Structure 1
């Protein structure tokens, strides 16, 4: 789906009332589900084949659905944001001192009364943020396009990203992918992607980059200052598509405009332009693109693809680095982990920056900046590579990796020494409403996800268990329900072949069980194949439904912009009815 279509769909969704949707989602059952533990274990072969040396770290630095990264720096502190779409809170933000070790600070847009994606499709909500530190007023700015609640382009500010952000300020311009730049004299500018002037669109995918003067005192664009600074892309005669994600930089007195081109897919690239003024004219570098993976064989080993949508920052020892999105497809070329955040050093010793080794097949390891120690996965730092994450939900503060969809997780869950309690909403996973599901991103092509569930459904409309979800119309539900006086585990496949119209629901398999105590549920993925199993003794797992395809959990099949999510799910609106023989 093109972004213009999403804009129209989101605008329609935004007409729905927050009060109505919120009250509907809050209809909770009196039969809560208790999840007492979770173990997520990554098992990708590439990390087994490429163990780290003491001076190395892995890229991607953020595995799973963390696309569209933007980055800024204040002193020795680096802050990075990513797209979140209808996931909640909106716009995940991370902090680092060295670009290797990152801590998760949660989400920038965490007030549901101000950012509420309650009735949007999963790929709507909010995406393509920019983050900029302004040294002239010691303030951080996060700017983003919000496809919910009629917000449009908004900016939020803070003096300290670790202490939260102010309320959204609505900005009066259209288009998407905005970012803010502050010149040496303190003057502000906004650049963004937009449609060509009316009547001047030359082909499908023809877009432009615009610049506005930004009123820093009043936080608004200055009317009448908008100007097209790139038309189409590097070479309009070649009909380039989707010039987007612009960022302005200044170096040695010149202005540089870096953009993505080619669309988020196999033709994705990063390109650079130069000017004597932030308002152009901008001349493309003769060496474009400066980052891409589009030139290499489709069947290459350990493929990384779709590289682009980047941002630059000066890192340790004055070495430039670029963060960008890319994907790691599985053996069937499926993109189940979604678009992830990668990093590369950037050589800017010449006139134009170039991503080091960004024009050859990307490798999983990088040399660490001088003097930096790899602490990923320890002391609260985000893990990468193959890792195991265990959770018993006994901590006072739930890890930020656990997220809601279309609303806050706190609306349906609570934690205690007993575990995680989910109070089921009267909504189904297939509805475009907040569901009572606590999600964790799929971060590996091969993984296991195991949970212990204490729950007894009271009727066939009650179900609790796990889901593997790409969107509301492309997911698997695996859980415990009841039929007459008997308990069952049931596996339901929900698919949306045309990406519109009715969702097709199919019971893959079900099995009657003796539910005397807790039950363990497990999802196992090996590339494109998934299995769903259960255990009543905590040790021996039985697969239900055999091996199923992960195709519907992939972006290239299900559409949209997100990766697969693995969730702890409970509902009082179940329609996954067991097959009774």
Structure 2
């Protein structure tokens, strides 16, 4: 969490509430608080041991993601006792978060794989563009990650490597002869095989494979088709594994929506010929009335004890039909057993601790925390540190979003930004779907953008000085109709000034869902400027209702 020497009275009040509610995972990062009031808060707070994290609720892995929020397309590998995981990240930079775990259940972020624009070239600034599904593997004492930048499509796949997954990762090796998405790497001895879903214009779409020179990005020989799936829509996300006497191929099929499934085939060689599993699909939630939907895009890993597990993506839709998922596609875990030589998923094997997602960021650290990313831009070009005074965000230049973003990771939450002079605090799904609280020229406005419609919903004149802009996700207001308005939540926009709290607007949350806005991402909190600069003193987030 970092050191938080904030004397601001509203920040103190926020921390008091969080501590009393058990909202902080540990006291590490609060030990060096400078203000006497905050030191006393820590002294008075109940303790659960010698600086140990507080106990967390545990839920079945069938319902609880190991990485809640917009962390889709998981890929995993193990080195010794350690597990490493990566996710796709689309238009946001830096890209491809990298995670570490000792037990597959508790994960800490090491950094990002793509942190330089030479690795993630600028392209068209469209929502759900950028970096698609990666594959993370360890071979010959190095970590290898291959992925696609859909905004730089003609460069083909991107291959980077490192000896330390925390980075830095190498300069990219481009593979222009393999244009498409969802690349996979595997090795048979010293021979590397690249498999991918081709989207090359003018060519037949499907799953291709070729031998790869990892040093140059050149394909050795012509690409050839491999197993094309069980016949469902959109076979993609291939992953190959040498297990026992067979090479197993896992695919995602049915599209990444409600029909998503995992299918499997096996062969004596990486290139085939492949025999499909007689029980395909081997895992799906399609047509089942479960709280988690869209399950698929799985990757297998073996534990040091010899057991098998799989990470996969899923969504948690809420509200009336068709259901609205707002956090994006999240990362889940399942156990894997083997029957008659085929993998079977056991989604109830693991009890998953609910991660602590709370944070308070006062921006006094020398660098931005890794939670802050930016759409179509580099975070360091959007905000300037000003010592112990937070961030200054210059006026947005033409054609830019000028936003710093961090993932929303819970269904009910409260977030606050302490700002002065001006600025925008918003929750967004993309550029055309967001709600926010905007301070400009002495007026705070609640605004909503839904598609081409931009609406001011409420306003308040305020005096100069620091204000707290607040966004909350709340359960929908009950309605005489059995199903109410049918949305997944309400978003409440408010401001605290010298006269207290003022609610400005309460809005149906369905318009910030994938089912309305489309795309592959999830809700993000965003801070930004506008025609004038913004000064942000702190941003806080906590799970649950304020």
Q: 1:449 aligns with which of 415, 420, 428?
A: 415
Counterpart for residue 23 of structure 1:
none
Instruction: Write the distance in 1 (CA, Å) between the matches of 2:504 and 2:201.
Output: 55
CA contact (8 A) 1:336 1:442 kept: no
How far the C-alpha of 1:214 sits from its partner, in A, is 1.5
> CA-to-partner distance for each residue in 1:421-480, whole Å, 9 max, x for gaps?
13224347xx5x3x3322111111111111211x22xxxxxx403011111111123111
Question: Superposition pairs for residues 432-581 of structure 1, below 5 Å?
Answer: 433=400, 435-453=401-419, 455-456=420-421, 463-482=422-441, 487-496=442-451, 503-515=452-464, 517-526=465-474, 527-537=488-498, 540-545=500-505, 547-572=506-531
Matched, 1:323 2:278: no
How far 1:229 moved relative to its partner?
1.1
Indicate how the Cα distance of structure 1 residues 57 and 326 shifts in structure 2: closer, same or farther if over 3 A, else same: closer
Which of 243, 248, 271 is equivalent to 2:235?
243
Among 140, 145, 150, the residue aligned to 2:143: 140
Q: Classify 1:537/1:58 alpha carbon distance in 2 versus 1 (closer, same or farther; 3 Å).
A: farther
CA drift at 1:120? 1.6
After superposition, the C-alpha distances for 1:27-83 in whole angstroms (9 at most, x for unaligned) are xxxxxxx9x969898x9xxxxxx9736999983111110100111122222211101
CA contact (8 A) 2:424 2:530 kept: no
Task: Please give the secondary structure, in 2, of the residue aligned with 1:552.
Answer: helix
Say which is worse superposed, 250-259 or 393-402, in terms of deviation.
393-402
Q: Deviations over 1:284-324 (max 9, x none)?
A: 10111121111313xx5xx1110001101112411111111
Q: Residues 492 and 507 of structure 1 are in contact (CA less than 8 Å); yes or no, is this contact kept in structure 2?
A: yes
What do the CA deviations read for 1:359-405 (whole angstroms, capped 9, x no partner)?
A: xxxx6x9247xxxxx7xxxxxxxxx4464222222233432112122
> What corresponds to 1:280 in structure 2?
272
> What corresponds to 2:162 in structure 1?
158
2:221 partner SS = coil
Distance 1:256 1:448, change over 3 A: same
* Structure 1: distance between partners of 2:120 and 2:58: 43
Shift of 1:573: 6.8
Task: Write the deviation string for residues 128-151 of structure 1: whole angstroms up to 9, x where unpaired.
Answer: 0111111xx322111001022453
CA contact (8 A) 2:62 2:334 kept: no
Q: Give the one of 336, 361, 366 matched to 1:346.
A: 336
Q: Quick check: 1:59–1:366 contact (8 Å CA) kept in 2? A: no
Matched, 1:96 2:57: no
SS at match of 1:65: coil
- 1:412 and 1:73 mapped to 2: Cα distance? 36
Structure 1: gaps of 5 or more residues: 1-33, 44-49, 201-206, 358-362, 369-373, 375-383, 457-462, 497-502, 575-581
Q: Which residue of 1 aligns with 2:171?
A: 167
Unaligned runs of 5+ in 2: 1-7, 22-54, 475-487, 534-546
CA distance in 2 between partners of 1:444 and 1:163 (Å): 29
Higher relative contact order (CA 8 A, sep 6+): 1
- 2:380 match: secondary structure: helix
Distance verdict in 2 for CA 1:543–1:249, change over 3 Å: same
Task: Output the CA distance in 2 between the equivalents of 1:257 and 1:154.
Answer: 22
Aligned mates of 1:535, 1:196 — CA distance in 2:
53
Partner of 1:422: 392
Residue 403 of structure 1, aligned match among 347, 360, 373: 373
**Distance change (3 Å), C-alpha of 1:391 and 1:350:** farther
Q: TM-score, normalised by structure 1?
A: 0.75
Counterpart residue number, 1:215: 213
- Deviation at residue 268 of structure 1 after TM alignment: 0.3
**Aligned pair 1:388/2:338, yes or no?**
no
Distance, in Å, in 2 between the alignment partners of 1:92 and 1:276 is 34
Q: Cα RMSD between the aligned structures?
A: 2.9
Contact 1:116 / 1:407 at 8 angstroms: preserved in 2? no
TM-score (norm 2): 0.80
